Amino acid sequence: MTGRAWVYGDEINTDLLAPGYCLRLPIEELAPHCLEALDPDFAGGVRQGDIFVAGDNLGLGSAREHAPGALLTLGIKVVLAKSFARIFYRNAINLGLPALFFAHAHEITMGDEMDVDPVAGMVRNVTTGKQYQVNSIPPHLMAIIEDGGLMAHLKKRLAS
Protein backbone atom coordinates (compact mmCIF):
# COMPACT_ATOMS: atom_id res chain seq x y z
CA MET A 1 0.00 0.00 0.00
CA THR A 2 1.55 3.24 -1.12
CA GLY A 3 0.26 6.71 -0.35
CA ARG A 4 0.88 10.12 1.20
CA ALA A 5 1.15 10.41 4.96
CA TRP A 6 -1.34 12.48 6.92
CA VAL A 7 0.45 12.96 10.24
CA TYR A 8 -1.14 13.95 13.54
CA GLY A 9 -0.12 13.84 17.19
CA ASP A 10 -1.19 11.99 20.30
CA GLU A 11 -4.72 11.32 21.52
CA ILE A 12 -6.66 11.96 18.33
CA ASN A 13 -10.08 11.07 19.68
CA THR A 14 -13.20 9.68 18.05
CA ASP A 15 -15.00 13.02 18.47
CA LEU A 16 -12.42 14.60 16.15
CA LEU A 17 -12.62 11.75 13.65
CA ALA A 18 -16.42 11.46 13.71
CA PRO A 19 -18.05 14.53 15.30
CA GLY A 20 -21.03 13.71 17.50
CA TYR A 21 -23.40 16.00 15.64
CA CYS A 22 -22.84 13.92 12.45
CA LEU A 23 -23.43 10.44 13.87
CA ARG A 24 -26.94 10.09 12.43
CA LEU A 25 -25.69 10.83 8.92
CA PRO A 26 -24.76 8.08 6.45
CA ILE A 27 -21.00 7.49 6.56
CA GLU A 28 -20.59 9.11 3.12
CA GLU A 29 -22.05 12.35 4.53
CA LEU A 30 -20.22 12.09 7.86
CA ALA A 31 -16.76 11.49 6.35
CA PRO A 32 -16.28 15.06 5.00
CA HIS A 33 -16.47 16.26 8.64
CA CYS A 34 -13.59 13.99 9.75
CA LEU A 35 -10.97 16.05 11.62
CA GLU A 36 -12.64 19.33 10.63
CA ALA A 37 -11.99 20.80 14.10
CA LEU A 38 -8.28 19.93 13.93
CA ASP A 39 -7.46 20.18 10.22
CA PRO A 40 -10.19 21.66 8.00
CA ASP A 41 -8.22 20.63 4.87
CA PHE A 42 -7.97 16.94 5.78
CA ALA A 43 -11.19 15.49 4.36
CA GLY A 44 -10.95 17.43 1.12
CA GLY A 45 -7.28 16.65 0.66
CA VAL A 46 -7.19 12.90 1.23
CA ARG A 47 -6.65 10.83 -1.89
CA GLN A 48 -7.48 7.17 -2.37
CA GLY A 49 -4.66 5.10 -0.85
CA ASP A 50 -3.33 7.71 1.59
CA ILE A 51 -1.98 6.69 4.99
CA PHE A 52 -3.00 8.05 8.39
CA VAL A 53 -0.19 8.36 10.96
CA ALA A 54 -0.75 9.27 14.62
CA GLY A 55 0.99 9.16 17.96
CA ASP A 56 -0.22 7.57 21.18
CA ASN A 57 -3.75 6.43 21.97
CA LEU A 58 -5.36 6.95 18.57
CA GLY A 59 -9.14 6.67 18.74
CA LEU A 60 -9.69 7.24 22.44
CA GLY A 61 -13.10 8.41 23.56
CA SER A 62 -16.52 7.22 22.50
CA ALA A 63 -16.77 3.69 21.15
CA ARG A 64 -17.98 4.47 17.64
CA GLU A 65 -17.10 2.62 14.49
CA HIS A 66 -17.82 5.83 12.59
CA ALA A 67 -14.26 7.02 13.37
CA PRO A 68 -12.31 4.40 11.38
CA GLY A 69 -15.25 4.25 8.97
CA ALA A 70 -14.80 7.93 8.10
CA LEU A 71 -11.09 7.39 7.42
CA LEU A 72 -11.84 4.40 5.21
CA THR A 73 -14.60 6.24 3.35
CA LEU A 74 -12.27 9.16 2.59
CA GLY A 75 -9.72 6.78 1.04
CA ILE A 76 -7.28 6.07 3.88
CA LYS A 77 -5.94 2.53 3.27
CA VAL A 78 -3.88 1.94 6.40
CA VAL A 79 -3.49 3.52 9.83
CA LEU A 80 -0.16 3.68 11.67
CA ALA A 81 0.00 4.76 15.31
CA LYS A 82 2.29 4.44 18.31
CA SER A 83 -0.70 3.01 20.18
CA PHE A 84 -4.44 2.63 19.74
CA ALA A 85 -7.46 2.74 21.98
CA ARG A 86 -8.50 -0.93 21.91
CA ILE A 87 -12.03 -0.32 20.61
CA PHE A 88 -10.72 1.86 17.75
CA TYR A 89 -8.23 -0.84 16.79
CA ARG A 90 -10.89 -3.56 16.67
CA ASN A 91 -13.38 -1.31 14.88
CA ALA A 92 -10.74 -0.55 12.23
CA ILE A 93 -10.00 -4.24 11.69
CA ASN A 94 -13.71 -5.11 11.69
CA LEU A 95 -14.30 -2.53 8.94
CA GLY A 96 -11.37 -3.84 6.88
CA LEU A 97 -8.93 -1.01 7.67
CA PRO A 98 -5.42 -2.26 8.53
CA ALA A 99 -4.06 -0.73 11.76
CA LEU A 100 -0.39 -1.19 12.62
CA PHE A 101 1.48 -0.27 15.78
CA PHE A 102 4.28 2.06 14.64
CA ALA A 103 6.73 3.33 17.26
CA HIS A 104 8.40 5.70 14.78
CA ALA A 105 5.35 7.82 13.98
CA HIS A 106 7.23 10.93 15.16
CA GLU A 107 9.78 10.43 12.35
CA ILE A 108 7.16 10.84 9.61
CA THR A 109 6.36 14.25 8.13
CA MET A 110 3.06 15.37 6.66
CA GLY A 111 3.02 14.49 2.96
CA ASP A 112 5.83 11.92 3.03
CA GLU A 113 5.33 9.14 0.49
CA MET A 114 4.91 5.89 2.42
CA ASP A 115 4.84 2.22 1.45
CA VAL A 116 3.26 -0.18 3.94
CA ASP A 117 3.02 -3.98 3.84
CA PRO A 118 0.82 -5.09 6.77
CA VAL A 119 1.44 -8.79 6.11
CA ALA A 120 5.23 -8.50 6.11
CA GLY A 121 5.20 -5.85 8.85
CA MET A 122 7.20 -3.43 6.72
CA VAL A 123 6.85 0.35 6.68
CA ARG A 124 9.02 2.36 4.30
CA ASN A 125 9.23 6.12 4.06
CA VAL A 126 9.85 6.52 0.34
CA THR A 127 10.59 10.23 0.80
CA THR A 128 13.47 9.70 3.25
CA GLY A 129 14.47 6.16 2.29
CA LYS A 130 14.06 4.90 5.88
CA GLN A 131 12.59 1.45 6.40
CA TYR A 132 11.03 0.12 9.59
CA GLN A 133 10.04 -3.34 10.74
CA VAL A 134 6.80 -3.49 12.74
CA ASN A 135 4.70 -6.32 14.09
CA SER A 136 2.57 -7.66 11.28
CA ILE A 137 -1.16 -8.04 11.66
CA PRO A 138 -1.94 -11.56 12.93
CA PRO A 139 -3.25 -13.93 10.22
CA HIS A 140 -6.75 -14.28 11.72
CA LEU A 141 -7.17 -10.48 11.72
CA MET A 142 -5.57 -10.12 8.27
CA ALA A 143 -8.19 -12.58 6.95
CA ILE A 144 -10.93 -10.21 8.17
CA ILE A 145 -9.23 -7.25 6.47
CA GLU A 146 -8.64 -9.13 3.21
CA ASP A 147 -12.31 -10.17 3.11
CA GLY A 148 -13.39 -6.52 3.41
CA GLY A 149 -14.28 -6.47 7.10
CA LEU A 150 -15.90 -8.69 9.70
CA MET A 151 -19.37 -8.84 8.14
CA ALA A 152 -18.01 -9.87 4.73
CA HIS A 153 -15.66 -12.32 6.44
CA LEU A 154 -18.50 -13.98 8.36
CA LYS A 155 -20.70 -14.17 5.25
CA LYS A 156 -17.84 -15.83 3.38
CA ARG A 157 -17.31 -18.36 6.18
CA LEU A 158 -21.02 -19.13 6.45
CA ALA A 159 -21.28 -19.64 2.69
CA SER A 160 -18.44 -22.18 2.61
Write the burial class of residue 142 (CB in 10 Å: 0-12 exposed, 13-18 middle, 19+ buried). middle
| DSSP string for residues in 71-134 | HHHHT--EEEES-B-HHHHHHHHHHT--EEE-TTGGG--TT-EEEEETTTTEEEETTT--EEE-
Return phi, psi of residue 127, to 5°: -65, -45
Query: Domain locations in the chain?
Result: 2-159
User: Do 3 and 49 touch, CB atoms closer than 8 A?
Assistant: yes
Cα angle 66, 116, 29; round to 5: 25
- β-strands 99-101, 113-117 pairing: unpaired
Q: Does residue 160 carry a pLDDT above 90?
A: no
Q: What is the mean pLDDT of residues 11-34?
A: 97
Q: Over the stretch 38-93, which tens digit does the pLDDT of each residue have?
A: 999 999 999 999 999 999 999 999 989 999 999 999 999 999 999 999 999 999 99
pLDDT the model gives residue 102: 98
The whole-model pTM stands at 0.95
- Across the chain, mean pLDDT equals 97
The residue-averaged pLDDT of 135-145 equals 95
The topology (CATH level 3) of 2-159 is: Aconitase; domain 4 (3.20.19)
| Coil, helix or strand at residue 55 | coil
The percentage of the chain sitting over the pLDDT mark of 70, rounded to a whole number, equals: 100
